[in-house]
């Protein structure tokens, strides 16, 4: 349902750019601009504000990941997005699908493995303890989103080998096999340079900066996953909100496919 554009109130103490930004947000939420977002000149004309005011309103929308400025196309609406709080064991699969975008996975490897770092993270005393490595290329809307590598204790991972990963999540599979869905753990996000091979799989040139998400997931007190995911930096952001002395952090996944320059 479309909403009526509200003209700015020049007698209001609220800055004009903020009034324009607030109105544009309401119109975006109502489903406008799917086909085309207004140009700066059109915003100047419709809201009767200066070009500086219009550009500042759009800049704020860009900062929050609602629109992007693309070379040759101007300002473009980020059509599909989803947001999840970081104070929970969120599922990347569920976060993407919640934004109305199909998430699919291609299995690159399912192997018995030993990895001292993963074994230590999983709390195993033996650094050569048998593990199962499942490596997947994950796509959102058909476009590469993340390269996911997860190490599991052998008794947890073996029942998952040969499973159909086309459109499901690790957590759903763990629930099906009786291990259970992780309900505690931690995650660390940092920026890294992807290797040339990983960058190519993600549809990026090299060198390419990506987010590296490292996660330990537990079921109760039992560690069941040590994961390292490389996520395209142009499709992922961590958001924080500050209100009343409280901070709420969340992730935002942009599920549009950016056009190449």
Query: Could you tell me the CATH number of the domain that includes residue 34?
Result: 1.10.10.10
- Once rounded to an integer, what is the mean pLDDT over residues 31-56? 90
| Range list of β-strands (E), 170-258 | 184-193, 209-219, 222-232, 236-243, 246-254
Minimum mean pLDDT range among 7-21, 170-184, 221-235, 237-251: 237-251
- Asked whether residue 118 falls in the same domain as residue 240, the answer is yes
**Of 39, 54, 77, which residue constitutes the final position of a domain?**
77
Q: Whole domain around residue 203: which residue ranges? A: 81-254
Mean model confidence pLDDT for the chain? 84
CB 76 within 8 A of CB 39: no
Dihedral over Cα of 8, 14, 20, 24: its sign: negative
Other Cβ atoms within 10 Å of 105 Cβ, number: 21
> Where is average pLDDT lowest: 75-89, 123-137, 180-194?
75-89
* 194 assigned to some structural domain: yes
Prediction pTM value:
0.64
DSSP label of 245: T
Q: Are residues 47 and 85 in the same domain?
A: no
In 18-119, DSSP assigns E strands to: 67-70, 74-77, 81-85, 103-113
Q: Looking at residue 214, what is its pLDDT? A: 92
Confidence of residue 146 (pLDDT cuts 50, 70, 90): very high
**Residue 76: pLDDT band with limits 50, 70, 90:** confident
Which of 43-52, 71-80, 121-130, 186-195 bottoms out in mean pLDDT, i.e. has the lowest? 71-80
When mean pLDDT is compared over 22-36, 59-73, 241-255, the highest value belongs to 22-36
Residues 6+ apart with CB under 8 A from 156: 132, 174, 177, 179, 224, 225
pLDDT at 119 over 60: yes
């Amino acid at each position: 349902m479309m909403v009526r554009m509200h003209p700015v109130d020049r007698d209001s103490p609220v800055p004009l750019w903020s009034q324009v930004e607030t109105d544009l947000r309401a119109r975006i939420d109502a489903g406008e601009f799917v086909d085309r977002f207004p140009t700066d000149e059109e915003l100047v004309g419709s809201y009767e504000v200066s070009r500086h005011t219009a550009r500042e309103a759009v800049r704020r929308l860009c900062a929050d990941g609602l629109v992007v400025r693309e070379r040759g196309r101007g300002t473009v609406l980020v059509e599909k997005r989803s947001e999840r709080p970081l104070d929970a064991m969120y599922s990347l699969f569920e976060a993407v699908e919640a934004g109305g975008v199909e998430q699919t996975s291609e299995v690159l490897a399912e192997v018995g493995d030993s990895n001292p770092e993963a074994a230590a993270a999983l709390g195993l005393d033996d650094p050569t303890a048998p593990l199962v490595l499942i490596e997947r290329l994950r796509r959102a809307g058909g476009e590469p989103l993340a390269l996911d590598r997860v190490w599991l204790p052998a008794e947890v991972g073996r029942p998952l080998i040969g499973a159909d990963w086309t459109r499901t999540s690790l957590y759903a599979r763990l629930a099906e096999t009786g291990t259970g869905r992780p309900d505690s753990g931690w995650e660390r996000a940092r920026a890294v340079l992807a290797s040339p091979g990983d960058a190519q799989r993600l549809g990026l040139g090299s060198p390419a900066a990506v987010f590296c998400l490292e996660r330990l997931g537990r079921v109760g007190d039992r560690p069941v996953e040590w994961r390292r995911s490389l996520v395209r930096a142009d499709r992922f952001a961590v958001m924080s909100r500050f209100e009343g002395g409280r901070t709420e952090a969340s992730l935002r996944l942009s599920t549009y496919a950016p056009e190449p320059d």
